[in-house]
């Protein structure tokens, strides 16, 4: 009897062990499926063993977010491939240096404000420029202006360009905001005449910039230059997908955008934050997810909660202490909010409505909008001629409706994904 019990106990232990093995295996499968099914441009290029670049000397444009879908750094992956020689590395301003070991003995340059256009020295002996940079979907971001200047330089120098395409973190459906007027002074924020929220990938934007005659004219022919451009497309990305639906780890392209939540918030509260009258959470662990000031009244807070609720966003009263930025070191009263990833929000329109709301509720915002230098700052960023009026901020529908409709029509030619 005792031996039978021991045999049964042994069988039970074996069954339990088998179950644990199965569960462990399932756990490993689950952890693997956390990787996104979407394949980035860099993944597809690596799958081809960099054959399109075989034998070429390249300049690689990258930032800390330049990684494969398995979170391996693009620079290290390309550097380990013998088919390609990295002649130089161009880093986009505001990003950490990726994989410092791979940069040994390779000339490295920073494309920063006032120096976004690569020089001939930076591209010395390069056969091609390879761009693998994560854009954020907002025209004023550093990425778009840098992309323009790289294309413009390569068109002049006769160097071909490869774009390793990446998703638009805000998705590819919503297009919203003013198109910079040709009559306005061109700035680094408005050099590419697309809406504030353009709904395009970096590859699609490159195609449009190169094909629409937006690059500098040739001094002889007087016609806009074009560069020899190649787009290494993604696979299985759809326009309806925001970053949260790709299941990738977010790697901050900028210190103030540590999460997709911060990016969605930036699209709405970034403009009012430029005025300096209120804090939008810069200097906290959740930038662009607060609005507040030390003297916000209960009425202002309640009205802001109502404002966000009308747009499908839950906002709650709170207090916060920014370490830097507006009202640094002073306890602020206001609201905190989180924009749902799947909410198809016309963020620029909402941002302008928020300016109107706060101007009516909070005198410092109204006073800031009445000051010329603040409006000029917003004008340089947005290209929206409503900020160019001489007396005060004028609300209303976005100007240049005909330009916007024309853009939507032309944009359709360059969309690469359903």
pLDDT in tens, 263-288: 999 999 999 999 999 999 999 999 99
Q: What is the mean pLDDT of residues 72-92?
A: 93
- pLDDT value for 33: 39
At residue 323 the predicted structure's pLDDT band, cuts being 50, 70 and 90, is very high
Other C-beta atoms lying within 10 Å of the C-beta of residue 278: 24
41-250 and 260-369 share one CATH topology? no
- pLDDT value for 184: 87
Residue 166 has pLDDT above 80, yes or no: yes
d(CA 279, CA 294): 9
- pLDDT value for 338: 94
- 129 forms beta bridges with 59, 161
Specify the fold of 41-250: Rossmann fold (3.40.50)
Task: Single out the residue of 127, 111, 106 nearest to residue 119, CA to CA.
Answer: 111
Task: List the single range of 181-185, 193-197, 216-220, 278-282 with lowest mean pLDDT.
Answer: 181-185
d(CA 67, CA 79): 13
Out of 33-37, 94-98, 338-342, give the one with best mean pLDDT: 338-342
At residue 57 the predicted structure's pLDDT band, cuts being 50, 70 and 90, is very high
Copy the structure tokens of residue 410.
Answer: 């032309």
How far is C-alpha 12 from the geometric centre of its chain's CA atoms? 54
- pLDDT value for 395: 59
Q: What is the mean pLDDT of residues 404-411?
A: 96
d(CA 131, CA 41): 10
Asked if residue 304 lies in contact with residue 334, where contact means CB atoms within 8 angstroms, the answer is yes
Give per-residue pLDDT as tens, 204-220: 999 999 999 999 999 99
Residue 399 has pLDDT above 70, yes or no: no
Give percent of the chain with pLDDT exceeding 70. 86
- pLDDT value for 102: 57
- pLDDT value for 322: 98
Phi, psi of 155 (to 5 degrees): -65, -40
Query: In the chain, where are the structural domains located?
Result: 41-250, 260-369
Length of the chain: 418
- pLDDT value for 197: 98
Residue 94 has pLDDT above 80, yes or no: no
At residue 32 the predicted structure's pLDDT band, cuts being 50, 70 and 90, is very low
- pLDDT value for 329: 98
Residue 157 has pLDDT above 80, yes or no: yes
At residue 96 the predicted structure's pLDDT band, cuts being 50, 70 and 90, is low
How far is C-alpha 196 from the geometric centre of its chain's CA atoms? 12
At residue 401 the predicted structure's pLDDT band, cuts being 50, 70 and 90, is confident
CATH architecture label of 260-369: Alpha-Beta Complex (3.90)
Residue 23 has pLDDT above 80, yes or no: no
- pLDDT value for 317: 98
At residue 97 the predicted structure's pLDDT band, cuts being 50, 70 and 90, is low
Average pLDDT, the chain: 88
- pLDDT value for 99: 56
Greater model confidence, 309 or 94:
309
- pLDDT value for 28: 30
Task: Single out the residue of 89, 84, 139, 79 nearest to residue 118, CA to CA.
Answer: 89
Coil, strand or helix at 324: coil
- pLDDT value for 20: 34
């Amino acid at each position: 009897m005792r031996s039978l019990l021991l045999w049964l106990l042994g069988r039970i232990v074996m069954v339990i062990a088998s179950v644990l093995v199965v569960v462990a295996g399932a756990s490993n499968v689950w952890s693997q499926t956390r990787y996104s099914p979407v394949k980035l441009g860099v993944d597809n290029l690596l799958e081809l063993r960099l054959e399109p670049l075989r034998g070429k000397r390249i300049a690689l444009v990258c930032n800390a977010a330049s990684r494969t879908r398995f979170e391996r750094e693009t620079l290290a992956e390309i550097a380990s491939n013998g088919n390609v020689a990295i002649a130089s590395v161009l880093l986009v301003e505001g990003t950490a240096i990726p994989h410092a070991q791979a940069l040994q003995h390779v000339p490295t340059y920073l494309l920063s404000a006032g120096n976004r256009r690569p020089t001939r020295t930076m591209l010395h002996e390069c056969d091609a420029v390879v761009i693998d940079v994560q854009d954020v979907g907002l025209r004023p971001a550093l990425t778009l202006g840098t992309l323009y200047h790289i294309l413009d330089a390569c068109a002049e120098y006769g160097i071909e360009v490869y774009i390793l395409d990446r998703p638009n973190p805000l998705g590819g459906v919503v297009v919203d905001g003013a198109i910079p007027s040709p009559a306005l002074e061109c700035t680094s924020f408005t050099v590419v005449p697309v809406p504030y929220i353009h709904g395009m990938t970096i590859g699609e934007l490159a195609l449009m910039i190169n094909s629409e005659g937006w690059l500098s004219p040739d001094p002889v022919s007087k016609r806009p230059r074009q560069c020899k451009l190649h787009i290494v497309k993604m696979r299985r990305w759809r326009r309806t997908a925001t970053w949260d639906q790709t299941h990738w780890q977010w790697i901050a392209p900028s210190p103030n955008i540590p999460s997709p939540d911060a990016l969605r918030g930036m699209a709405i509260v970034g403009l009012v934050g430029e005025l300096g009258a209120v804090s939008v959470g810069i200097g906290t662990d959740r930038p662009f997810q607060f609005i507040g000031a030390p003297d916000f009244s209960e009425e202002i807070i309640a009205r802001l909660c109502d404002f966000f609720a009308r747009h499908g966003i839950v906002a709650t009263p709170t207090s916060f202490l920014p370490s830097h930025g507006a009202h640094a070191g002073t306890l602020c009263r206001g609201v905190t909010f989180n924009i749902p990833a799947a909410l198809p929000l016309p963020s620029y329109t909402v941002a302008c409505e928020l300016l109107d709301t706060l101007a009516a509720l909070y005198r410092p915002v109204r006073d800031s909008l009445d000051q010329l230098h603040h409006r000029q700052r917003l004008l340089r960023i947005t290209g929206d001629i409503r900020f160019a009026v001489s007396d005060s901020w004028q609300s209303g529908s976005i100007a240049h409706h005909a330009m916007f409709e024309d853009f939507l029509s032309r944009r359709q030619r360059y969309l690469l994904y359903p």
